[in-house]
């Protein structure tokens, strides 16, 4: 006979936790997760701001290097070369072997000079040069025989006509060129960090684009022979006055020109509307402006 063994019954465990406890646990976990995500987002945004601030400082170091590179010797050399023509024109008559020929030619060259003076004086003296050649020939013969030191005195009269070649060399009219400054539309834009929350950006009210040769801007760009494209960083204060901070040349050649002084001479004649914040108050802000400068004849 099989005997049935009775197993003891295991008592069942029942949870007696109140349902409100689980609700508070879920709310607490949600709050903790929200704080964790918020702190993580703050760390990311802080790193991004630091990266942006570092990126804005990099162009300042790069911009400060190009201005010292200037090619001024290219324009100083052509100015020293023209004086080499003067000794050729002045010293050619002073050759020792053909002294007699030069003296005779010098007298022939000096003979027209008294006729000019007599024509300016009275009409009766104009006939006298016709009778003077015979006297001048006798004086030339006497000077050939002995007194050669007295004859070189007419040579200054002939050399007086020789300075005409230096007069023909005229490097000075070269800087007489005007300028034409052009600003492309919508080229004025904010640069760098904001000093305040802008409600209305600065704008250009009036500008002078044509600069005659007698202006300061034209004199500063006297060596400019090609169009020049510049990127200008200027500070427009709360009164609308512009101040040039940095100038970058987009063109390859600057022709040894002080770009900061040139741009300041051009922009100081312009009028700007300042930047306004949400309260309608003006404040200073840095802007970037594209400027095209073209030389032109007067």
Domain boundaries along the sequence of the chain: 23-62, 176-296
- The confidence score (pLDDT) of residue 282 equals 92
- Run of H or E including 159: helix 155-161
Task: Find the angle CA(265)-CA(261)-CA(269) to the nearest 5 degrees.
Answer: 15
Rounded CA-CA distance 247/291 in Å is 10
pTM: 0.39
Give the model confidence (pLDDT) of 139-169 as tens digits.
Answer: 444 444 444 444 444 444 444 444 445 545 5
Average confidence score pLDDT of the chain: 68
Model confidence at 21, pLDDT cuts 50, 70, 90, reads confident
> Nearest 5°: phi and psi at 76?
-80, -30
Terminal Cα-to-Cα distance of the chain (whole angstroms) = 136
The structure tokens listed for 230 are: 């510049």
- 200-257 pLDDT tens trace: 888 888 887 777 777 888 788 777 778 888 889 989 998 888 899 888 888 776 667 7
Please name every residue paired with 248 in a beta bridge, in sequence order, or none if there are none: 231
> Any bridge partners for residue 181, and if so which?
293
């Amino acid at each position: 006979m099989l005997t049935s063994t009775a197993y003891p019954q295991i008592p069942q465990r029942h949870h007696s936790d109140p349902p409100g406890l689980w609700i508070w646990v879920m709310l607490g976990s949600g709050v903790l997760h929200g704080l964790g995500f918020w702190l993580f987002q703050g760390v990311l945004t802080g790193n991004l701001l630091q990266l942006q601030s570092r990126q804005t400082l990099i162009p300042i170091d790069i911009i400060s290097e190009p201005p010292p590179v200037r090619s001024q010797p290219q324009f100083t050399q052509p100015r020293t070369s023209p004086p080499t023509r003067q000794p050729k024109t002045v010293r050619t008559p002073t050759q020792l072997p053909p002294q007699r020929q030069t003296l005779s030619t010098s007298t022939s060259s000096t003979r027209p000079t008294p006729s000019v003076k007599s024509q300016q004086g009275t009409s009766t003296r104009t006939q006298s040069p016709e009778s003077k050649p015979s006297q001048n020939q006798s004086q030339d013969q006497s000077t050939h025989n002995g007194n050669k030191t007295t004859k070189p005195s007419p040579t200054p009269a002939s050399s007086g006509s020789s300075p005409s070649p230096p007069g023909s060399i005229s490097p000075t009219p070269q800087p007489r060129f005007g300028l034409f400054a052009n600003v492309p539309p919508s080229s004025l834009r904010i640069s760098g960090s904001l000093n305040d929350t802008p409600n209305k950006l600065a704008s250009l009210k009036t500008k002078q684009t044509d600069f005659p040769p007698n202006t300061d801007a034209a004199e500063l760009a006297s060596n400019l022979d090609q169009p020049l494209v510049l990127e200008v960083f200027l500070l427009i204060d709360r009164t609308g006055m512009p101040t040039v901070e940095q100038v970058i040349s987009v063109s390859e050649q600057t022709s040894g020109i002080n770009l900061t002084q040139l741009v300041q001479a051009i922009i100081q004649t312009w009028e700007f509307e300042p930047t306004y914040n949400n309260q309608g108050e003006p404040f200073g802000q840095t802007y970037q402006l594209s400027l095209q400068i073209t030389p032109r004849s007067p």
